[in-house]
Each structure stands twice: as C-alpha cells, then as structure tokens.
Amino acid sequence: MKKLKEFILKSALKMRAKTLEKMLNKTFTNSTSKTVISSTETMTLNTKTLEVIETVKNNVKDITKTADNNPQKLIDYIEAQGTKVYKIKNANNILQKINEHTGFITELQGIKAVYVNILTGQGIGLKSKPMFIISDKQADYYMLLREFYLWYSMNMKLSGFDFKTQEKFKKYIKNSQNASFKGLHYSEMLKIKEAIARDKEANEFVMNLIREKEGGSNAFGKMTSGGANI
C-alpha cells in the first residue's frame, strides 16, 4: 500500500510539472491591445525576487530536516505562525465544488469566502484569511509539503497569491483554452505567469527532495498519470 501511494504521488507531481511547464511556455495574447507575452517575456524577476525565491527554497529545506517526514510537524509549524489548519472529513470533495483543493487555501472573496468560512466554523464573511484545509485522515507528507512551500512563498511576499490572480490561474490550469482569457491586460497576464511560477517552484522542490531521498536521478522515469490528495 505504501509503494502504491508513493507511485500515485510521483505520478501526480510529474503530471503537474508537465502542465506547468506547458503553461509557462505558452504565449498569452491580449485581443484588445494585441499585446503578446511569450515564454521569453521577463516577469518580475529582479535581483531581489530571485534572492527571495532562493531564500524560500533554502529555508523550507532546513524545515524539512527538522520535520523528518512527519506531516504533523509541518502542521505545527504552520499553526505556530498564525495560520489555521482545519481537518475536515471528505474535504477534497467538498472543496471541489468551489474549484479548490485540499491543502493551502489563499485568501478568498465573495461566495467562495462565505463557503469556506461556514465550512470552517468562522461564521459568514465575504473575505477569508489564508488557511489550510486537509482531510481528517493522515496527511501525505510530500503533498502537504508542496502546499507548505506555497504558503511559505506567500508569507515571503512573493507575487501571484492575490485573490484575482489565483482565480484566473485556477481557471486557466483547468482549461487553458478558456475564452475569458483572450481580453486580459498585460499586467494580468504577467500576474498569471507569476502564479504559475510559484506553483512550479513548489512542485520542483518536492520532486527534487524525493529524488535526493531515493538517491536516483531517474526516480521519475517509470511514472504514469495519476493523482493524490492531502
């Protein structure tokens, strides 16, 4: 059973990596202004941003050494920083109704905020704070770590986590041909690229960590499609 779970996890990470790479290499076109942003377009990758990205990677790697593959230690760290972690039965099925998934939930607004606020017993509010919603069962360490990495990146003030950008990103990753993206402004396209980059950074961190622990550069060579939830 353990080997099957690991296989499913690796497969999910590999499929996610392929999707994100394809998205980053895609050309965004603004039909209104005829502005085009290709994969070679520079985002907000100035020296400061690159330094923060590297700091996130190094800090989270240090945290994993003390976590010692224990998901509860990650949860304890998250809560110690003031972010709530809610364990809810059938969480993934419940969250799918609003196009969210188990793990790190960025700030939500409107009806989605009302939904998660009621779900987590916070009353009715048109805004929700960043939080984690996971299954009431034992969390998968590596999938939780991927979400932890995103949360840490947001706390380090990296771009791509604001509500509007995240909503566009989620719709885009679900359907890259969505017609509603044809009229995006230049700044909106760049923000989506930032969100994609953050997701890709988290994904690559976990994949590299698994490779290191398995001690093989071709650890993902035999993967096929699959999925995993927290």
143-159 pLDDT, tens digit per residue, is: 999 999 999 999 999 99
- The amino acid occupying position 79 is E
What is the distance of C-alpha 196 from the center of its chain?
A: 9
pLDDT for the residue 172: 82
Distance in angstroms (rounded) separating the CA atoms of residues 88 and 91: 5
Contacts of 23 (CB under 8 A, 6+ apart): 172, 173, 176, 196
* Helix 2-24 with 163-174: angle, nearest 10 deg: 100
Give residue-wise pLDDT tens across range 143-202: 999 999 999 999 999 999 999 999 999 988 877 665 556 677 888 888 898 999 999 999
pLDDT score of 204 more than 70:
yes
Please write the tens of the pLDDT for every residue from 59-71.
999 999 999 999 9
- Given a cut of 80, is residue 80 above it in pLDDT? yes
Q: What is the pLDDT of residues 14-73, one digit of tens each?
A: 565 555 555 555 544 433 333 444 544 444 457 888 999 999 999 999 999 999 999 999
Give the model's pLDDT for residue 7.
55
Average pLDDT, the chain: 81
**Residue 218 binned pLDDT confidence (cut-offs 50, 70, 90):** very low
Kindly report, residue by residue over 207-216, the tens digit of the pLDDT. 999 988 876 4
How buried is 17 (Cβ within 10 angstroms: 0-12 exposed, 13-18 middle, 19+ buried)? middle
The pLDDT of residue 91 is above 50? yes
Q: Which two tokens stand for residue 192?
A: 């989506």
Predicted TM-score (pTM) of the model is 0.80
Domain boundaries, the chain: 8-44+159-224, 46-158
Per mean pLDDT, which range of 105-109, 187-191, 202-206 is the poorest? Answer: 187-191
